[in-house]
Amino acid sequence: MNVLVAIAGLAFLILIHEAGHFLAARTVRMRPRKFYVFFPPVLLRKVHNGIEYGLGAIPLGGYVKIPGMHRPAGRDLEAHFSAALDDAPSLRAPLAAAQIELDQETLDNDEATAALFRLRSASEGAHLSEQARTRVEKGLTDVEDGVSPDAYWRAPVWKRIVVIGAGPATNLLFAVAMLAVVFALGVPSEASRTVDVVADGTPAEAMGLLPGDEVVAVDSVEATTFDEVADRIRSSEGRPITLTVLRAGDEVVLGPRAAEFDNERYRLGFIPDVEYESYGPGAAVVEAFKQTGTVTVAIGESLSRIVTPEGRDDIATPIGIVQGSSQVLEQGFRDFLAILALISLSLALLNMLPLLPLDGGHILFSLLERVRRRAIPREAYERASALGIALVLILFVIGLTNDIGRLNG
């Protein structure tokens, strides 16, 4: 159940990211063509005011289709008409005419629209296989959207930045909101030496540690705080140790037992009783912003170390994210909200990296077009996207290797 909740949490973060793009596009009158909750295959769909709303079968977020992310080119049509030309060679002439209009240095919207209309009419009258007709319809629809007045690439730079930046901004706001809720509910202020929970199947359970025991010494050396207890357990490096506890007023010596190496530390497997401090609404928001800033700096430092072995160990895929958040959920819903907020913040920051096809890459190219005062060639977008995708795939492979290693202990 915890894994399902963790998957649902990650899917929700992706969904609100796409919803941010969608709502921003509607606000600046850049009408999206589709907005789906979850991914295809499609279960339900409905068209309202020219926008197709739908529900997919794969519960992993959602997506929004904004028209004309790039200026259309003649070869966009050619890729979709290859099968149709085999069925109906008569389509070559109207196809070539449309391609010529699309490849003009200064795209004439009226001429391109007219040429596409003639190509569509010829296609509808041609005898095509079902597969060829489906590809033709998709290609024509995409290119027609690309030459429409509300196409993304035609919009002023500020509108493009608003639409693209709205996705990461939504994740950022969600992170702050969730952290504010966590601070309002209460955050740990100090851990005591009293045991609250003993995990099943751990050395702590095997040595007979019980909830309510107060740990006063490790290996007969007095510990006045929980931090001292934890430090001595970690420094044992796997050798058998004893715990001295107060139980019903009597001192009891437990062990010896060796701590287990878990998540880069030696642990016995118990959680101390913790005092929580709650914040008022205003103070909770202030603390949430402070925590957001602290984590942002930490993530930036982590990205700067990504070329080092230690930095590569920090990379995770959705598999690792789900695994980690499901483990945190076992500790309580409050901790799960905190980790969900931090994942949302990570999504926001990673999406702002200046790499295509990430949001930050689209913002960078929009700014470059503003400086150049003309559109960047489609080929440049494609080369930059290929490089960005290659880097993302490399990170994914590294993260997947890390996740498999963690799952295998």
Residues 315 and 261 in one domain: no
Do 118 and 230 lie in one domain? The reply is: no
What range does the domain containing 95 cover?
74-147
Same domain, 294 and 396: yes
Question: To the nearest whole number, what is the mean pLDDT of the chain?
Answer: 86
Task: Mark 45-62 as b/e (b = at least 16 C-beta within 10 Å).
Answer: eeeeeebeebebeebebb
State whether 247 and 340 are in the same domain.
no
User: Both tokens of residue 37?
Assistant: 């909750």
Kindly tell me the burial class for residue 105, based on how many C-beta atoms sit within 10 Å of its own C-beta (0-12, 13-18, 19 or more).
Answer: exposed
Q: Are residues 293 and 400 in the same domain?
A: yes
Q: Are residues 313 and 370 in the same domain?
A: yes
Instruction: Indicate whether 392 and 295 sit together in one domain.
Output: yes
Same domain, 307 and 394: yes
| Residues 121 and 204 placed together within one structural domain of the fold | no
Q: Is residue 228 part of a domain?
A: yes
Which segments of 126-263 does DSSP mark as H helices, in order? 130-147, 157-185, 203-206, 226-234
Q: What are phi and psi for residue 376, nearest 5 degrees?
A: -75, 135
The predicted structure's pLDDT at residue 314:
66
Regions of the chain short of the pLDDT cut 50: none
Final residue in a domain of this structure, among 147, 163, 179: 147
Residues 268 and 316 in one domain: no
Number of domains in the chain: 3
pLDDT at 406: 61
Q: What local confidence, expressed as pLDDT, does residue 305 receive?
A: 72
Domain-terminating residue out of 114, 147, 180? 147
Contacts of 86 (CB under 8 A, 6+ apart): 132
400 and 285 in a common domain: yes
Residues 401, 288 share a domain: yes
Indicate the residue type of 25. A
Alpha carbons 13 and 173: distance in angstroms, whole number? 11
DSSP SS3 for 11: helix
pTM for the whole structure: 0.75
Q: Tens digits of per-residue pLDDT, 3-15?
A: 676 677 778 888 8
pLDDT at 313: 67
CA distance 344 to 178: 10
